Chain A
Amino acid sequence: MAGTLLDIAMMHSDTLIARAREGDKSAQGKLVQLWYKRIYNFGYKFFFDHDLAMEVAQKTFISMHRNLAALQDVARFKSWLYTIAVNYCREELRKRKGVRSVSLHDLRPGESEDSYRWEESGSRHENPEKQLRQSELSDLLQQCLMELSEEQREVVIMKEYEGLKFREIAEALNISENTVKSRMYYGLDGLKKILEKKKITKETIGYEI
């Protein structure tokens, strides 16, 4: 319910963006509260790494605060914000090439009851066993997502998990809509092959859960 309300708020945040663009600090703060989770999750799915996702989210909102006044069209705020996030993701990826590191946050992945992430997980009131299996499955599928190329991955995340329209993705990535669709098609096709290779089907997932 809270998620739905948040989505509605995000959909109708035009006046908020307009106020924030005019320098209203409270409006800027509310924008951060509204979009932080989305940008963090975009970064997390892109890197499968908590620290990098936090880094990208923070940089994105600092950049938003500095450059919001330059935003011409309020309706393009969403794609504009994702453009900033994608650019920081690519920058971090370039920095990370040749550097291997493990996030301390992910040494004990999952949101099981003995994890420090249990408290921050929204579904902690559910059946713990089911929650643990769901968390493990989520990580397994996230690993499949990481096997996609950088270009396909960012399109798949934006479309599949962030719910952007193909037009918005094209704006965010500054490419044609057809290129976005083509990347999406081959991204899904690639995921199909990866899932087949790992023997992950609807049936096995149903059994797992």
Chain B
Amino acid sequence: MKYRPDESTLISYLYGELDAKESEKVQLYLQANHDELVKMKQLMGVQEIMSNIEDKEVIAPPVFMDEAPRARMVWLNGPIKTIIGIAASFLLLLVAAKLLGTEISYSQSELKISFGGTKTEQPVQQLQALSPEQVQLMINSSLAKNNETIADSFAENQKELDKAIKNSLALNSSKIDGLMKNASQASQEQVRSFVSNLQSENVKTMREYIQLSSSEQSKYMEGLLVDFTKYLNEQRKQDLQLVQSKISTMEQNTDQFKQETEQILATIISSGSNEVKKQSSFE
């Protein structure tokens, strides 16, 4: 049967922790199996590379040794410690409840938790039942009383109001009289000054108007005359141009007529000489 070492054996061989006999067997196996040998060499290479991780230098801290560990108190053990803790919390709650005056009671399916003592509620006295007539009478009497008080207060208010109106009227009339007097005096003076102002302003405006109108009229007339002379000049120019153009057309017509006549005469003369020549040649 062929020998094949497992991974554990191979790693033991790698670290030299195999006995001599086993080590020799592995060595022979590796010599026979090139691939395994290569793999082992690779693992050795990894070891070699990884050996480059350095140890860090560290200084051990000073050691202060305590006495031999003391026996722990029984109540400091886990479960007892928890129970004591719960009991202490409960006791604390009870003390707090006592100080706050907490009272818890259960009666008639009601759980009541109260702080600071119980409050005694005073019973409300029940009124005796009243008949509808009595109630009506009470309402009527109270309404009558109410009406009386309203009427009294209304009368008093009326009187006070009348007094106040009279007073205010008297005050107002006196003030208005004074104001009217002042106003009448002031208005006479104002009217006079107003009329005088008005007159002077009217005179001024009339003067200015007359001055303005005369100057404007003269300007207008001058302008009109100038415009008329311009118009006449223009008209004359146009007439002259028209006459000149007519004369030039007449001249052109006469020239043309002259030329036509000359041509006609020339043609007549030339035709006459030809006929004479023809007759002479026939002859």
Interface of A toward B, CB cutoff 8 Å: 23, 25, 28-29, 32-33, 36-37, 40-41, 44-45, 50, 53-54, 57-58, 61, 65-66, 120-122, 134-135, 137-138, 141-142, 144-145, 156, 159-161, 165-166, 177-178, 181-182, 184-186, 188-189, 191-192, 195, 200-202, 205, 209
Contacts and interface: CB of A to CB of B under 8 A. Distances in A.
B42 to A, nearest CB: 6
Given A166-B12, A181-B7, A192-B42, A65 B55 contact: no
Contacts, number: 102
- Interface of B (DSSP majority class): loop
28 contacts: A25-B65, A32-B60, A36-B58, A36-B60, A36-B61, A37-B58, A37-B60, A40-B58, A41-B58, A120-B58, A120-B59, A134-B54, A135-B54, A138-B53, A138-B54, A142-B53, A160-B50, A165-B17, A166-B15, A178-B8, A181-B7, A181-B8, A182-B11, A185-B10, A191-B50, A195-B49, A202-B48, A205-B52
B52 A192 contact: no
A182 B7 contact: yes
A120 B53 CA distance: 17
A185 B50 contact: no
A202 B66 CA distance: 50
Given A33-B60, A135-B54, A138-B54, 9 more contacts: A37-B55, A37-B57, A50-B56, A120-B59, A121-B57, A188-B47, A191-B50, A202-B48, A202-B49
B51 interface: yes
B59 to A, nearest CB: 7
B210 interface: no
Contact of A145 (B7, B50, B69): B50
A191 B55 CA distance: 19
B44 to A, nearest CB: 9
A49 B57 CA distance: 14
A21 B212 CA distance: 141
- Interface of A (DSSP majority class): helix
Nearest to B8: A181
Nearest to A65: B65
B265 to A, nearest CB: 130
Contacts of B12: 166, 181
Interface string B175-195: 000000000000000000000
Given A165-B17, A185-B8, A188-B43, A141 B50 contact: yes
Interface string B222-262: 00000000000000000000000000000000000000000
Nearest to B54: A138
Contacts of B53: 45, 138, 141-142, 145, 161
Contact of A166 (B17, B52, B61, B63): B17
Nearest to B59: A120
Given A141-B50, A160-B51, A195-B49, A189 B43 contact: yes
Contacts of A135: 54
Contacts of A195: 46, 49
